[in-house]
């Protein structure tokens, strides 16, 4: 995989740092990883849900953070794995219990309204709240006000 160095562009632009950060994230190997799998679904006109498969993780193993326009979901089982390894010996480990970090870029005015964990799926509910000033509005077309016709004053030669 190729890696493009965008650092010279950071020095010559003002206000585009977020764009270049998104390009860096998209080209990184971390963004290409497919663990854990997830679904994004629309649950209403302005409501969305991200469902992440986190089988084997408890609520205490997961953290959700929303900062600026990025939603970050982290999972870690390091403390529990060390304690369990002293008690038992695994003959075959096919269930993934590795730590992960999954990032989602959110559109403007999208906020996280809640999260729940059920049956090994972490559900994060999102809603897009557009400010009144930016909502489209209908402008009625009215009739022009009736103005009296202008009076014509005849000039009389003196």
CA distance 78 to 61: 9
CA distance 139 to 58: 52
Whole-number pLDDT of residue 94 = 79
35-131 CATH fold: Immunoglobulin-like (2.60.40)
CA distance 81 to 61: 11
CA distance 76 to 56: 11
pLDDT digits (tens, 9 = 90+) for 113-125: 999 999 999 999 9
CA distance 86 to 37: 30
Residue 1 has pLDDT above 60, yes or no: no
Residue 124, SS3? strand
User: With contact defined as beta carbons under 8 Å apart, do 53 and 117 qualify?
Assistant: no
Residue extent(s) of CATH 2.60.40.790 domains in the chain:
35-131
Whole-number pLDDT of residue 31 = 46
The answer to whether the pTM exceeds 0.85 is no
Q: What are phi and psi of 135, to 5 degrees?
A: -75, 145
How many CB atoms are closer than 10 A to CB 27? Answer: 14
66 falls in which pLDDT band (50, 70, 90)? very high
Residue 64 has pLDDT above 80, yes or no: yes
Q: What are phi and psi of 100, to 5 degrees?
A: -145, 160
pLDDT digits (tens, 9 = 90+) for 87-106: 788 788 777 678 899 999 99
CA distance 128 to 110: 4
Structure-model confidence comparison of residues 24 and 82, the more confident one: 24
CA distance 97 to 87: 17
Q: How far is CA 123 from the centre of its chain?
A: 14
Structure-model confidence comparison of residues 103 and 17, the more confident one: 103
Which segment of 5-9, 118-122, 143-147 scores lowest on mean pLDDT?
Answer: 5-9
């Amino acid at each position: 995989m190729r890696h493009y160095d965008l650092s010279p562009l950071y020095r010559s632009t003002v206000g585009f740092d977020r764009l270049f950060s998104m390009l860096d994230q998209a080209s990184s190997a971390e963004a290409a990883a497919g663990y854990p799998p997830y679904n994004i679904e629309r649950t209403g006109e302005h409501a969305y849900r991200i469902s992440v498969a986190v089988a084997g993780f408890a609520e205490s193993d997961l953290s959700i953070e929303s900062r600026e326009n990025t939603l970050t979901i982290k999972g870690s089982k390091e403390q529990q794995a060390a304690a369990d390894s002293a008690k038992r010996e695994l003959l075959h480990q096919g269930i993934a219990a590795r730590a992960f970090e999954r990032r989602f870029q959110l559109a403007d005015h999208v906020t996280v309204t809640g999260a729940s964990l059920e049956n090994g799926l972490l559900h994060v509910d999102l809603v897009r709240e557009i400010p009144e000033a930016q909502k489209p509005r209908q402008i009625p077309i009215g009739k022009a006000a009736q103005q009296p016709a202008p009076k014509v004053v005849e000039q009389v030669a003196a």
